């Protein structure tokens, strides 16, 4: 595999990452995309065990050599999207491969959500991280923001400039901490949000009508009739202005009206 990845070279940023992960000798950490193993080493010095997943066999072999004295690192040559994460992991700390940010974040969140006390500290491309953190009313507020903030407390740890990597990439990065809320994730709610966020600049009324193919009730006239029974103050509000709590209440209302099904 041709390696087009960039590697973190700034020890201060590595230390910020491990400090914010509050690592101790009790921790079993998963690192996704361990690359040349420099971050792996900094993590491994502080924890009981590190699982280091790396897709590129050349990188895996050279990092194995470099860390051969660290007996608490288990290297796994695999695509992180294709394997089950080891069951005993309680923290995920990674400078992620940005090309898989979206699917790997989904996988991480579902994994952590089921494990009490677990959390992740992850490096992302800045623009992606900003969408995870975005609040209602700003352009970046999207389905990614809703999914991450519904399931986790999302905190920015630090911005990371492109100069901290070699070779120097064209984009800046950001370190994000994801603290799962350990909730019973309601897939129906997420499907509803996914549908209306495709029309996030429209008001709720139009967004629901325009995504009626994805609603339990999809006849336009019936939908209009039901939606018109609702208070204008929220049905005429633009989708991207709603807080997650408001979206949850709207979804409950949609179930009552038969527009969505539980």
Chain residues that interact with ligand SAM, rule: CB under 6 A: 5-8, 32-35, 38-39, 53-56, 59, 79-81, 95, 97, 100
| Closest CB 112 distance from ligand SAM, rounded Å | 18
Q: At 180, is the secondary structure helix, strand, or coil?
A: strand
| Closest CB 225 distance from ligand SAM, rounded Å | 48
| Closest CB 132 distance from ligand SAM, rounded Å | 17
For ligand SAM, the closer CB: 164 or 250: 164
| Closest CB 70 distance from ligand SAM, rounded Å | 15
For ligand SAM, the closer CB: 100 or 257: 100
For ligand SAM, the closer CB: 42 or 154: 42
Q: CB within 8 A of 178, min separation 6: which ones?
A: 105, 108, 109, 112, 119, 120, 121, 122, 148, 152, 153, 154
Torsion 251-256-258-261 (CA) sign:
positive
Opening angle at CA 121, ends 117 and 123, nearest 5: 160
H/E segment holding residue 14? helix 11-20
Retrieve residue 4's tokens. Answer: 């087009």
**Most distant CA pair in the chain, distance:** 70
DSSP strand E in 126-182: where? 152-160, 165-166, 173-180
**Is beta strand 49-54 parallel, antiparallel or unpaired with respect to 119-125?**
unpaired
For ligand SAM, the closer CB: 94 or 211: 94
Comparing every residue's Cβ against ligand SAM, the nearest one is 33
| Closest CB 82 distance from ligand SAM, rounded Å | 8
For ligand SAM, the closer CB: 85 or 147: 85
The span from the first CA to the last CA of the chain, in angstroms, equals 44
Is residue 131 within 8 A of residue 142, CB to CB? The reply is: yes
| Closest CB 124 distance from ligand SAM, rounded Å | 10
Is residue 176 within 8 A of residue 132, CB to CB? The reply is: yes
For ligand SAM, the closer CB: 9 or 214: 9
For ligand SAM, the closer CB: 16 or 38: 38
Q: CB within 8 A of 64, min separation 6: which ones?
A: 37, 75
| Closest CB 140 distance from ligand SAM, rounded Å | 22
């Amino acid at each position: 595999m041709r390696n087009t990845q960039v590697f973190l070279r700034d020890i201060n940023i590595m230390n910020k990452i491990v400090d914010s992960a509050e690592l101790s000798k009790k921790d079993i950490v998963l690192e996704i995309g361990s690359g040349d193993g420099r971050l792996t080493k900094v993590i491994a010095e502080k924890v009981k065990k590190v699982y280091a997943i790396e897709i590129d066999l050349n990188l895996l072999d050279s990092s194995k050599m470099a860390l051969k004295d660290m007996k608490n690192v288990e290297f796994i040559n695999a695509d992180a999207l294709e394997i089950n994460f080891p069951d005993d992991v309680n923290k995920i700390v990674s400078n992620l491969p940005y090309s898989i940010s979206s699917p790997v974040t989904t996988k991480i969140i579902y994994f952590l959500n089921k494990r009490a006390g677990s959390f992740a500290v992850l490096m992302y491309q800045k623009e992606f991280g900003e969408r995870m953190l975005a609040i209602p009313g700003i352009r970046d507020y999207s389905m990614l923001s809703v999914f991450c903030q519904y399931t986790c407390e999302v905190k920015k740890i630090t911005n990371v400039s492109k100069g901290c990597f070699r070779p120097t990439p064209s984009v800046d990065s950001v370190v994000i901490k994801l603290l799962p809320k350990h909730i019973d994730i309601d897939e129906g709610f997420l499907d509803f949000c996914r549908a209306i966020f495709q029309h996030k600049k429209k008001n709720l009324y139009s967004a629901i009508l325009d995504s009626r193919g994805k609603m339990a009730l999809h006849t336009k006239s019936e939908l209009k009739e039901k939606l018109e029974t609702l208070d204008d103050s929220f049905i005429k509000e633009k989708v991207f202005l709603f807080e997650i709590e408001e979206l949850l209440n709207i979804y409950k209302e949609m179930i009552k009206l038969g527009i969505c099904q539980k």
